[in-house]
Structure 1
Amino acid sequence: MTSNTLSFQSRLPRGHADYCDPSIEALFKRHGLSDFETLWNASARDVDVPNHERGGVSTVSLLELEGEDGNTRRFFLKRQTNHLARSLQRPLGEPTFSREWRAIRHYHALGIPTVKAVWYGERKNTISHQSSPASGWRAILVTAALENRTDLDHWHTRWETLDDNLRSQIIMASAQLTRRIHANGMMHGCLFPKHLFLNDPSNAPSNPMNAVIIDLEKTRRFILERHERLRDLSVLWRRLTQWRESDWRAFLAAYCDCSPSDAQVDRWLERLDKRASRR
């Protein structure tokens, strides 16, 4: 993302201040990344196509920084311009990263495993020509890379080649994390397999497989709990096409904390199948 050459004034919204995690402050300063503008103009490799939804643009880049010890730390540098979400509280809109930033902090407070946000800042820009892309909102969110973890999509593409024990671990870890999110009264809102990251037990056999959730932009508290639980689960149902009924029974048993033959599992299978048939 390049800087705009037009002249504009940039100000912090009222009540907001830039956040920098103390653990990365020295590292970022070492590389000259000490404030909003230096991060905004930092050179980093894009890892996804720019998102042009919501009337703005949002990009994700990989930022690799070498520490004094010679080790490289990896971060995802996320920058957006006028990529806004509107709500009753913010009818004129706010950066979607602002929502994600608050959600990450909330998930950590609830003890739900998610990414670590190490830097956040936002600016409201004003210039003489309001139609210019330089006007409006800019936001930066930096998260620490999830090292030694692979998303559920990756495991799913290899599903038939995995042994029963590994498949069982993947199902259990995914179900337990989903259960934990919902048990805390939250709907993820975008529960794609690519947003569930699991550790590879072959790298550390003594550590059980567990899952971490990412992309919390659309997460929110339940309003109609059963309906919203079903919405989240149906996203996985539609995409995990290689899972057999026995896999889903194992997942839903862990999700409901019951036996795979329990009536609760039967009811969830019926709801998921019925919802999928309507699409």
Structure 2
Amino acid sequence: MTHSPETPPIDFWWTVQGEWAEPPNERRGGMSGVQRVTLEDGTRYYVKRQRNFTFRSLRYPLGAPTLLREWNNLQTFARLGVPTAPAVAFDMRREADGWHAVLVTRALEGYISLEEGFSCARWDESERARILTHVLEALAPLHTAGRKHGHLYPKEVFVRPQADTVHVALLDLELSRRHLSRRHAARSDLRRLVNSLLGRGLAPQEFDLIRDAYARKGMPLPGDFNRR
């Protein structure tokens, strides 16, 4: 059980109800979904709930909630200086019908996903280059540590451009893990991100910006790194 002292106690998050962000995923007797919860002071949170959504590993041979893996990755990203949605609380409990887990993050107010920004042509060419540069700066510590995000699609990368900077936050960290090398970690993530953005108007010079930025950080990517 872990929670921020500035927020309600963990039992509150187990019982509070909100609007489902999308219909929960139900399969093989399990359930996983995300609710939006707004407190009386107007602060918004996202509450992930799971029942019998588990993974197995050497450490957890009998299984544990996949939200535990995401919570651990949130802590790892924080240590590496990789921005994410602010982590608020996590708990997991073994009940008669299996594992239950809850994970809470603060809502990203004023942010927009790369998916929405590119699809709606929200930014001009110079602003897109500025945003991509900050996204790459946010990703670099992760890849330098030999870790990959593992699910780096535009909908998982959120940005909040301001006059003097661009704030970045990465979501959906459940699949993040160590890779064979820094270069392979970067190639795996950026191939997925670039391929997705190409269908949303990514320009050739923006492709070059990504490749050149990583070359300067000692993680050169081949010219065709976006090909499967």
Q: Please give the TM-score of this superposition, normalised by the length of structure 2.
A: 0.90
Distance (Å, rounded) in 2 between the aligned partners of 1:193 and 1:223 = 24
4+ runs deviating over 4 angstroms: none
**Structure 2 counterpart of 1:44, one-letter code:** G
User: Percent same amino acid at aligned positions?
Assistant: 31
Q: Which has the higher strand share?
A: 2
- Equivalent residue of 2:57, what SS? coil
1:34-66 deviations in whole A, cap 9, x for unaligned?
Answer: 443x43332200012212357621110001002
**Structure 1 counterpart of 2:44, one-letter code:** R
Counterparts of 1:250-269 in structure 2 under 5 Å?
250-257=209-216, 264=220, 268-269=222-223
Equivalent in 146, 150, 171 of residue 214 of structure 1: 171
Note the residue ranges of structure 1 that are not aligned, 5 or more in a row. Answer: 1-17, 29-33, 127-134, 259-263
Q: How many residues align?
A: 224
**Highest Rg: 1 or 2?**
1
Counterparts of 1:93-172 in structure 2 under 5 Å?
93-126=63-96, 135-159=97-121, 162-172=123-133
Pair 225,200 (structure 1): closer, same or farther in 2 beyond 3 Å: closer
**Who is 1:231 aligned against?**
188
**Structure 1 counterpart of 2:209, one-letter code:** A
Pair 183,140 (structure 1): closer, same or farther in 2 beyond 3 Å: same
**Who is 1:14 aligned against?**
none
Q: Is the 8 A contact 2:131 2:161 kept in 1?
A: no
**Structure 1 counterpart of 2:166, one-letter code:** M
Distance (Å, rounded) in 1 between the aligned partners of 2:113 and 2:206 = 18
Equivalent in 34, 39, 42 of residue 60 of structure 1: 34
2:203 aligned with 1:249, yes or no?
A: no
Distance (Å, rounded) in 2 between the aligned partners of 1:118 and 1:220 = 22
Counterparts of 1:70-109 in structure 2 under 5 Å?
72-109=42-79
1:113-161 deviations in whole A, cap 9, x for unaligned?
Answer: 11211111110012xxxxxxxx1100000101111111111111133x6
RMSD: 1.9
**Who is 2:226 aligned against?**
272
Deviation at 1:173, TM superposition (A): 1.4
Distance (Å, rounded) in 2 between the aligned partners of 1:53 and 1:235 = 26
2:160 aligned with 1:199, yes or no?
A: yes
Pair 98,149 (structure 1): closer, same or farther in 2 beyond 3 Å: same
**Structure 2 counterpart of 1:232, one-letter code:** D
**Structure 1 counterpart of 2:98, one-letter code:** G
1:56-89 deviations in whole A, cap 9, x for unaligned?
Answer: 211100010023xxxx100001110001111122
